[in-house]
Structure 1
Amino acid sequence: MAERLEIPAQQWRRVSPRYILVDVVGALVFTVVVVGAFGAVAALSDTGWIWYLAAVAGVVMIIVIAFIPRRVRSIGYQLRDDDLLFRRGLLFQRFVSVPYGRMQLVDINRGPVSRALGLSDLRFVTAAASSGVSIPGLPLAEAEQLRDRLVELAESRRAGL
């Protein structure tokens, strides 16, 4: 099994580098909400230690944002003969192999920031709920082409079952 995952790096298809901006904006919005919530609680109460929690949350989120470019570069996928192989993660790496014949739904999602940058997320689901995979940060044309290709492969593989 280890042999199948040892694939040369040049064969992996990467997501768009513009996805870094989408991830950073999402993390910044989350940071503002969390730090703002701590700040509001601290301002409305007389407990000064809550300001420390706001500061710690802010520092942690700055560290998370600093790792976003590297984390985005770790996302990749590969179309193989019988399945799609997806990978992501730095410290905790995840490899998911989804057989074409098991795909039930292939969907394209676009949030407001992604749409403004011309990106989309390609999501596909199998019968097993835990094997749903989402490939973020694909240019819309590439996502549509990949969706059509996966649907075609899934139909041909299911017909052969």
Structure 2
Amino acid sequence: MDPLEPWPETVRWQSVSRNLIWVEAVRLGITVLVILVGLGVGLALTGHWLFGLGIGLLVGLTLWELVVIARAVRAWGYAERDHDLLVRHGLLVRRLSIVPYARMQFVDVTAGPLERAFGLATVQLHTAAAASDARVPGLPPAEASRLRDRLTALGEDRAEGL
């Protein structure tokens, strides 16, 4: 395996839901709207050209970020193997986390209001070493529950064998 190509080709990767793009886009939209209102008020009160420039830059950066969000969501994936779970993500900096089932302490499933609105949940794996924790966002709730139950069962089985 080439260290510059961290996604093993022999693994059957599961992708996350494309609805995660909408969740991230709405989060971005809320932030941009707040900043845009502030810049708009500044422009209306002062008429200074820098506020107009700020609005233009904000719109351009928002469009760029929407492209990045779509590509970043497509980069997320996970794979269940016999002894560990692989989680991959990242565009510029690719990250591959390998979490052995025997090292898992507990598994969380969370879903904030925005995730619930789009029918998504996040599975968070916790290990003794905080640096080795991994998360899989953008899963349908049924898949998140199935993955949580499977990882918990496999973790218990592997821990008994230690």
Q: Find runs of 4+ consecutive structure 1 residues off by over 6 angstroms.
A: none
In structure 2, the residue matched to 1:158 is 159
8 Å CA contact retained: 1:35, 1:55: no
Alignment of 1:133 with 2:134, yes or no, is yes
Query: Which consecutive residues of structure 2, in runs of 5 or more, have no partner in the other structure?
Result: none
TM-score normalised by structure 1 residue count: 0.86
In structure 2, the residue matched to 1:103 is 104
Q: Secondary structure at the match of 2:138?
A: strand
1:1-161 alignment runs, 5 A limit: 2=2, 5=6, 7-8=8-9, 11-43=12-44, 47-161=48-162
In structure 1, C-alpha distance between the alignment counterparts of 2:108 and 2:119, rounded to whole Å:
16
| Counterparts in 2 of 1:97 and 1:136: CA distance versus 1, 3 Å | same
Give the root-mean-square deviation of aligned CA atoms.
2.3
In structure 2, C-alpha distance between the alignment counterparts of 1:44 and 1:98, rounded to whole Å:
54
| Counterparts in 2 of 1:49 and 1:76: CA distance versus 1, 3 Å | same
- The count of aligned residue pairs is 161
Residue type of the partner of 1:147? R
* Structure 1 residue 73 displacement after superposition: 1.1
Residue type of the partner of 1:140? P
In structure 2, C-alpha distance between the alignment counterparts of 1:132 and 1:60, rounded to whole Å:
31
* Structure 1 residue 69 displacement after superposition: 2.0
Q: Secondary structure at the match of 1:104?
A: strand
* Structure 1 residue 41 displacement after superposition: 4.5
In structure 1, C-alpha distance between the alignment counterparts of 2:40 and 2:75, rounded to whole Å:
34
Query: Which consecutive residues of structure 1, in runs of 5 or more, have no partner in the other structure?
Result: none
